[in-house]
Amino acid sequence: MATTLSTGTISAARDAAVAAIEAAADDLTALSKFIHQHPEVALEEVRASAACAEFLEARGFAVERGLAGLPTAFAAGAGDGAPRVAYLAEYDALPGLGHGCGHNLIAMSGVAAGLGLGAALRAGGLPGSVRVFGTPAEEAVGGKVIMAAAGVFNGIDAAMGAHPGSNDTYCPTVAGSGLSLACEEVRIAYHGRAAHAAADPYNGINALNAIVEVFNGINALRQHVKSDARLHGIITDGGQAANVVPDFARAEFFVRAAKLEDMNQLVERVRQIAEGAALMTGARLEFEVSGLANSDMVTNLTLARQLKRNLDAVGLEMPEATPEPPSGSTDWGNVSYEVPSVETGFPILDRICTWHSPEVVVAADSKLGYRNTLLVAKAMALTGIDILTDPALLTKIQAEFAHVPPLPAIAARH
């Protein structure tokens, strides 16, 4: 079917996508401004998710709300059957800061790209379908982790998204670019026995000593981990008074590694350290993992390169990608193990700026921000058309994705 598409049909589809985004530019900007002006933190994005879903519903999309048990997740679909292209929209804000990560623009880019590809499908002659997913809580539990585990992305052929950045951000088109760390949260608590810290300490069991030994053990482990690993934690409970042997102490750690398998192994090492500290002190251990680990990000380079061609075509200028070590973590990683994925960066500043800052709050509501969001949305819509109309491209994307291993089991709860 797709092989018989004429160049006329394809260019009409491209024109329809771009025209639809341009025609809706003011409405899309208003949508983004509304989200910016009403910042809602993770899992509380009631107005943002409703506004995005209603925007697409009013323009002919079929909307499903509350996916994967997340009230602020949604899917909005148009067209029918395969190939299936997805755009992911985030909209959560940062506590106390507002849209200091620019997720109001991510929402706008996903909705706009969906609108564009939907218009191309309506123009006729194209196979396949488009879906826009509203994905809550990127900054906290990771809505995409829960959605991916629930199978929400099953059957999707390619997933795209765009994250705003400084003027050094890029589309990850080369191996070793656009990486992120797998990350799991570990909670360690000890129950001991209170006693007078001077009169009869021999009757006490010191839960804080156990936590201190966990820190010592993890620090000893650092020499023997791969260079990308990160282990960092805080003590959330360390006793109430210096003259009482602490009967309860608790710490939280993030365990990160370049690959999910390595991260899972590290979580087990930390568990062994915690068990050792329990033996040393006699305190009773409670060891808990969140079970919602972020996987590392596996960018589909074929998809990323096609997106870059379209970013160039629409005139969004960015530096070329370069390999660099992963730093942060994102719930996109879990999507990337399920579906060929790319999350491109796009600049909303003409300089380099610290992220999660008041400067970003301003940039996320700026002329340059909205302009470039519309450009990146057009490029994502055009890439969607390429996937629907070029079977060779889809085959290549799938062939690359075939090398992605199945998502390794998340470290068991304990």
DSSP output for 271-315 = HHHHHHHHHHH-PEEEEEE-S-PBPPP-B-HHHHHHHHHHHHHHT
Q: Is the dihedral of CA 193, 199, 200, 206 positive or negative?
A: positive
Using left for φ > 0, alpha for ψ between -120 and 50, and beta otherwise, residue 128 falls in left
**Number of chain residues interacting with Zn ion (CB under 5 A):** 1
Nearer to Zn ion, 316 or 364 (CB): 364
Q: Which of 46, 126, 184 is nearest to 384 (CA)?
A: 126
- CB neighbours of residue 350 within 10 Å: 10
Using CB positions, name the residue nearest to Zn ion.
101
Nearer to Zn ion, 52 or 101 (CB): 101
321 lies in the site for Zn ion, by CB under 5 A: no
Polymer length in residues for the chain: 414
DSSP notation for 375-388: HHHHHHHHHHHHHH
Task: For Zn ion, give the closer residue by CB, 101 or 121.
Answer: 101
Backbone angles phi, psi at 176, to 5 degrees: 90, 0
Using the rule CB under 5 A, give the single segment among 65-73, 100-108, 225-233, 253-261 that binds Zn ion.
100-108
CB of 361 to Zn ion, least distance (A): 13
Identity of the residue, 101 or 301, whose beta carbon is nearer to Zn ion in the bound complex: 101
Stretch that binds Zn ion, among 94-102, 127-135, 167-175, 299-307 (CB under 5 A): 94-102
How would you write 89-125 as a 3-class SS string? ECCCEECCCECCCCHHHHHHHHHHHHHHHHHHHHHCC
**Does the protein bind Zn ion through residue 348 (CB under 5 A)?**
no
Amino acid sitting at position 200: D
Decide if 221 contacts 231 (C-beta within 8 A): yes
Distance separating alpha carbons of residues 211 and 241, to the nearest angstrom = 16
The 243-282 site mask, x for binding Zn ion (CB under 5 A), equals ----------------------------------------
Least separation in angstroms between residue 138's CB and Zn ion is: 6
Tell me whether residue 45 or residue 213 sits nearer to Zn ion (CB atom). 45
**Contact track, Zn ion, 54-83, x by CB under 5 A:** ------------------------------
By CB under 5 A, tell whether 297 contacts Zn ion.
no
Does 101 interact with Zn ion (rule: CB under 5 A)?
A: yes
Which residues from 360-389 bind Zn ion, rule CB under 5 A?
A: none
**Please, which residue, 59 or 99, has the CB nearer to Zn ion?**
99
Supply the minimum distance, in Å, between the C-beta of residue 310 and Zn ion: 22
Q: Which stretch binds Zn ion (CB under 5 A): 93-101, 194-202, 264-272, 365-373?
A: 93-101
204 vs 345, beta carbon nearer Zn ion: 345
d(CA 54, CA 50): 6
Residue closer to Zn ion (CB basis): 48 or 394? 48
Which residues are near Zn ion by CB under 5 A? 101
